[in-house]
Amino acid sequence: MKVRIEEQDGNAVAILEGNLDTAAAVETEKAMRPLNDVEGKDIIIDCTDMAYISSAGLRIFLGILQNAQAKGGHVYIKGINDNVRAVFTITGFSNIFEFK
Amino acid sequence: MTIENGSLTIMNKIFTYIRRKLSVRVSLWVVFFAAIIFNVALGFLFYQSREAVRQEAISRATTILEKTSLRIEGILNRVEVASNMTKWLVQRHPDKADSMFVYSRGMLLNNPDFYNCSIAFEPYYFKDKGRYFSAYTKHTGDSLRTTQGGSDYYQYFFADWYLMSQLLGKPCWTEPYMDLDVATNTSEMVTSYCQTIKNKQGQVIGVINTSLSITWLSQTISAVKPYPNSYSIMIGRGGTYFVHPDTTKITRQTIFTQTLEHPDTALTALGHAMQRGEEGIKQMNINGEDSYVFYKPLGQTGCSMAIVCPESDIFGGFDRLRNSVRAIVLVGLLLMLYLFIRIITRELRPLRRLAHEAETIASGQFDAVLPDFQRVDEIGQLSQSFGNMQQSLVKYIEELKDTTAQKASIESDLRIASGIQMGMLPEKFPTKDDRDDVQLYASLTPAKEVGGDLFDFYFRDEKLFFCIGDVSGKGVPASLFMAVTRSTFRTVSAHESMPDRIVTLMNKTIADMNTNHMFVTLFVGVLDLPTGRLHYCNAGHDAPLLVGAGVGELPCDSNIPVGFMPTWKYSLQEAQIFTGTTIFLFTDGLTEAMNADYAQFQMERVNDVAFQALSQQQQEPRQLITRMTEAVHQFVGDAEQSDDLTMMAIQYIRQQSDVRMRKSLVLPCDLQEVPRLNAFVEEVCQEVGFDETVAMQAKVAVEEAVVNVMKYAYPPGQQRDVTIEAASNDVRLKFTIIDCGQPFDPTVQPEVDTTLTAKERKIGGLGIHIIRQNMDSINYERIDNLNVLTLRKKIVKIDN
């Protein structure tokens, strides 16, 4: 699991690559912690290369979202594949996230 | 036939009419008895009168006969006396021929009623008179003609009358014969008294013959008529008729002639009696008419006379009188009947009006005004009682209306309650078309609108949760208790998978709020559908039947019913249900169903019906319950249903498939092992042919389940393992996750709400939700101190 955080067009973009399973979750959460400090910018999570997600991954996403929303920011999910989107759908996460 | 039927119909109509008319009936009875009394009285009177009339007739006829016979005898005597006188004269002057004319004439002069008289002499007695001399005198008109009779054409000494007295040696009466008057050439039927004249030497010199006309005699006799149609007869010695109304019979027939052709003993007896010179009365039938015959001999003539009096004559007057009286009585009775009917009808008219008014009241018009008859008799009393009854009726009807309205309101409530109660029960029963593992059917028939029986079932995590129960008592209280029990079952079983736990918790909840000391017998079962393992707990309910390889009761521990003791610990039992076996559950409404003779259906019959169903391969739930219901209905008949009747049948029909694939993986409880797990799952999914999407779903679900064990099964620091088994048959892929940690049933954890906003949502609790969504079933069992969690997913075959 690889995590890259970049700044693109004034947005904070996290690019995820690999399988976000429970084993990878601890590292991934650490890697994404900088996003909690983002202020005044939208956060985009680029999942184009993320093949898999479990509930551990979803919890990280929810933490980022709740943090961002508390500051009035937006979190967008980008490039999500169908299988991962299915996990979002059944858990109701598709209703609380915005997709690009 | 038709006529008979017709008259029968008319008779029926008459009887119906009489039955319907009191006045006619009473009148008929009165007239009937009056008729009897009249009949007896008149009968007696008629009998007596008739006897009197008969005696009167006899005495009258006898008197007349007596007189007539005396008169005839007088005539005959006169003939004999006159004849004797003449004989004496002739004997004094036997030689004076001319004197004979004087004697002969003198005879008729003195006796004008004699027909003729001749004094005839032997041939050549008077030498100068030649061979014939007979002084013959006969009436001709008003004068007498005296001539010399006898000539060559009339040789009198050969006549019967001339010879008879000589042969007999004494004077005698001849049988009637025709006397021919030569001078006028007329003949007349006569009878003659002949007397021989002898000279002093005793030689016969002649015969005096004095005749009486039979016609005259007959008229004399016949003139005597006691009754208009009576007649007289006279017969001679031989029975020959001398006098008879039918003149053709005179001298030509005897009294016996008729009996030769038509034997008639009575007539013969009469003839003989008359011949013997007897006197008497005979009652007999003459020429088709009942008659009285009075008979008597006539002096020494040897004749006998009889008066025949037809009964119709004797009793004619009497019969007319009797018929008149009868007619009067009949008319009187009819008049009486008519008057009685009229009078009774008039007297009963108020009653009819009363009946009419009663009919009006009966038809629902309670305000009908009753007539006031102003009478003090029974009818008046009846009318008054009727009025009182009407008032009471009106009052009671008003009260009844109120009561009925109240009752209707309660009934309406009850109907709604019944609807609500029935709505609580599951309505859709899975059949083998819906599921491949179990089919189920149930029926509940309350004895009243609402009942205290309950059943329920639902599926959760490849388990069938079901219960059947019977609340003590019936009606509304029982139904409320039933509703509480049913909702408690749903609430409790949502978080508990073991029946003993479910019942214990239900008992605690219900007993705590049970202030009315009601209770419910309950059977709760949880059937694990993939394996057919049944866990159950029986709280004082009838043990269910297993209908499969045979018919037998499911062994049940004796637990107390739910609702008594909140602290009671209910026991758990287990059984293996084999494919094809039906679990038949029921309430005591089945075994205690009563027929009209208060006999109960009883367990033996339940067993019999189940056994029959089994032997005919009819143990499918709906068939079994239908058969049981029919058997109960047949047994109970028309008797009222005494208790709520509930039945539920569950048939386990899962066919175990062959295992195609079996793999296992043992991982230490370290989250870093998750990629190995995912690789394992991926491999398995590939092997069974899941596409990427389905494989992803399985991967996520298994990861969530295993991570759960890794995180929470063991206390921190304990290094233990978790085993993941994968197995598949043609239908499903099954993952079994086994650990030996503390008991934990993830299936009873509360559901997450996926509709909340990001802010409201909590981190965590998603795992079980993802498993449920991604897999077809999740099943937890605690077996031998192991937590066994089974996840299943259907293999969808894609046809190429």
pLDDT digits (tens, 9 = 90+) for B201-221: 888 889 999 988 887 877 877
Number of structural domains (chain A) is 1
Which among A55, A66, A83 is the nearest to B704, CB-wise? Answer: A55
Please determine, for residue B234, whether its predicted confidence score (pLDDT) is greater than 90: no
Pairing relation of β-strands B116-121 and B143-149? unpaired
Residue in A closest to B752 by C-alpha: A91
Least confident of B48-62, B81-95, B289-303: B289-303
Separation CA B182–CA B140 (nearest Å): 13
Model confidence over B19-30: pLDDT tens digits?
A: 888 888 888 898
- Cβ proximity of B787 and B741 under 8 Å: yes
Give the largest CA-CA distance in chain A.
32
Q: What is the mean pLDDT of residues B463-473?
A: 89
Model confidence over B439-466: pLDDT tens digits?
A: 999 998 887 777 788 899 999 878 899 9
Residue in B closest to A53 by C-alpha: B700
Residue B341 CB neighbour total at 10 angstroms? 18
- Cβ proximity of B567 and B512 under 8 Å: no
Chain A interface includes B758 (CB < 8 A): yes
Pairing relation of β-strands A11-20 and A43-53? parallel
Closest among B158, B477, B700, B10 to A54, alpha carbons compared? B700
pTM of the complete model: 0.47
B559 in the same domain as B458 = yes
Chain B interface includes A21 (CB < 8 A): yes
Model confidence over B509-537: pLDDT tens digits?
A: 888 887 778 889 999 999 988 888 899 99
Please determine, for residue B800, whether its predicted confidence score (pLDDT) is greater than 50: no
Residue B60 maps to a domain: no
B209 in the same domain as B129 = yes
Provide the token pair at B714: 């063991």
Separation CA B119–CA B207 (nearest Å): 6
B473 in the same domain as B393 = no
Interface mutation target, options B667, B669, B670, B671, chain A, most CBs of A under 10 Å = B671
Report CB contact under 8 Å: A87, B700: yes
Q: Which residues of A touch B701 (CB under 8 A)?
A: none
Q: Which residues of B touch A82 (CB under 8 A)?
A: 693
Please determine, for residue A1, whether its predicted confidence score (pLDDT) is greater than 90: no
| Mean pLDDT of the residues in chain A | 89
Q: Which residues of A touch B752 (CB under 8 A)?
A: 91
Report CB contact under 8 Å: B678, A52: yes
pLDDT at residue B785, rounded to an integer: 86
Chain A interface includes B202 (CB < 8 A): no
Separation CA B215–CA B190 (nearest Å): 8
Separation CA B532–CA B655 (nearest Å): 10
Helix axes A55-70, A82-91, angle to 10 degrees: 70
B690 in the same domain as B642 = no
Q: Which residues of B touch A52 (CB under 8 A)?
A: 678, 696, 699-700
Q: Which residue has the higher pLDDT, B347 or B467?
A: B467
Chain B interface includes A76 (CB < 8 A): no
Q: Which residues of A touch B763 (CB under 8 A)?
A: 59, 62-63
Number of structural domains (chain B) is 5
Model confidence over B76-91: pLDDT tens digits?
A: 888 889 999 999 988 8
B526 in the same domain as B396 = no
We report the CATH number of the domain holding residue A34 as: 3.30.750.24
Report CB contact under 8 Å: A66, B697: no
Q: Which residues of B touch A25 (CB under 8 A)?
A: 671
Residue in B closest to A97 by C-alpha: B758
Residue in A closest to B758 by C-alpha: A96
Report CB contact under 8 Å: B700, A54: yes
B474 in the same domain as B612 = yes
Interface mutation target, options B697, B763, B772, chain A, most CBs of A under 10 Å = B763
B461 in the same domain as B395 = no
Interface mutation target, options B672, B690, B703, chain A, most CBs of A under 10 Å = B703
Q: Which residues of A touch B761 (CB under 8 A)?
A: 62, 92, 96
Range among B186-195, B421-430, B702-711 with highest mean pLDDT value? B702-711
Name residue B374's amino acid: Q
B615 in the same domain as B504 = yes
Q: Between chain A and chain B, how many beta carbons pairs sit less than 8 Å apart?
A: 81
Q: Which residues of B touch A22 (CB under 8 A)?
A: 671, 674, 703, 707
Q: Chain centroid to CA B337: how far?
A: 34
Long-range contacts of B112-116 (CB under 8 A, 24+ apart): B112/B139, B113/B75, B113/B212, B113/B216, B114/B79, B114/B82, B114/B210, B114/B211, B114/B212, B115/B139, B115/B179, B115/B188, B115/B190, B115/B211, B115/B212, B115/B213, B115/B216, B116/B179, B116/B181, B116/B190, B116/B210, B116/B211
Model confidence over A62-90: pLDDT tens digits?
A: 989 988 888 888 999 999 998 899 999 88
Report CB contact under 8 Å: B671, A83: no
Q: What is the mean pLDDT of residues B169-187?
A: 81
Chain A interface includes B754 (CB < 8 A): yes
Full domain range(s) for residue B294: 225-314
CA dihedral (B355, B360, B361, B362) in degrees, to 10, reads 80
pLDDT at residue B798, rounded to an integer: 53
% of chain B beyond a pLDDT of 90: 18
Residue in A closest to B710 by C-alpha: A22
Chain A interface includes B102 (CB < 8 A): no
Residue B665 CB neighbour total at 10 angstroms? 18
**DSSP classification of residue B560:** P
| Mean pLDDT of the residues in chain B | 86
Kindly report the nearest CA distance between residue B711 and chain A, in angstroms: 11
ipTM of the complex: 0.90
Separation CA B61–CA B457 (nearest Å): 122
Bridge partners, residue B783, by sequence: B786
B344 phi-psi bin (left φ>0, alpha ψ -120 to 50, beta other): alpha
Separation CA B520–CA B464 (nearest Å): 22
Q: Which residues of A touch B749 (CB under 8 A)?
A: none
Q: What is the mean pLDDT of residues B711-722?
A: 84
- B429: helix, coil or strand? coil
pLDDT at residue B649, rounded to an integer: 94
Which among B678, B692, B754 is the nearest to A91, CB-wise? Answer: B754
Measure Cα distances from B226 to A46, B222, B242, B316 in Å: 164, 10, 20, 13
Say how many CA atoms lie within 13 Å of B651 toward its Cβ.
26
Please determine, for residue B778, whether its predicted confidence score (pLDDT) is greater than 80: yes
Residue B507 maps to a domain: yes
Provide the token pair at B367: 């305000």
We report the CATH number of the domain holding residue B116 as: 3.30.450.20
Range among B108-122, B166-180, B233-247 with highest mean pLDDT value? B108-122
Chain B interface includes A71 (CB < 8 A): no
Residue B758 maps to a domain: yes
Name residue B263's amino acid: P
Least confident of B62-71, B292-301, B602-611, B756-765: B756-765
Provide the token pair at B172: 């005698």
Report CB contact under 8 Å: A91, B766: yes
Which among A55, A66, A69 is the nearest to B770, CB-wise? Answer: A55
% of chain B beyond a pLDDT of 70: 98
Residue in A closest to B763 by C-alpha: A59
Measure Cα distances from B66 to B200, B227, B296, B305, B545 in Å: 41, 16, 8, 10, 122
B571 in the same domain as B485 = yes
Least confident of A39-43, B181-185, B589-593: B181-185
Please determine, for residue B799, whether its predicted confidence score (pLDDT) is greater than 60: no
Interface mutation target, options A19, A20, A21, chain B, most CBs of B under 10 Å = A21
Report CB contact under 8 Å: B675, A21: yes
B524 in the same domain as B605 = yes
Closest among A84, A92, A90 to A45, alpha carbons compared? A84
Model confidence over B611-669: pLDDT tens digits?
A: 888 888 888 899 999 999 999 988 888 888 878 889 999 999 887 777 788 889 999 98
B450 in the same domain as B402 = no
Least confident of B62-71, B326-335, B398-407, B572-581: B62-71
B249 in the same domain as B196 = no
Report CB contact under 8 Å: A23, B672: yes
Kindly report the nearest CA distance between residue A17 and chain B, in angstroms: 15
Residue in A closest to B695 by C-alpha: A83
Full domain range(s) for residue A95: 2-99
Helix axes A22-32, B674-688, angle to 10 degrees: 130
pLDDT at residue B349, rounded to an integer: 82
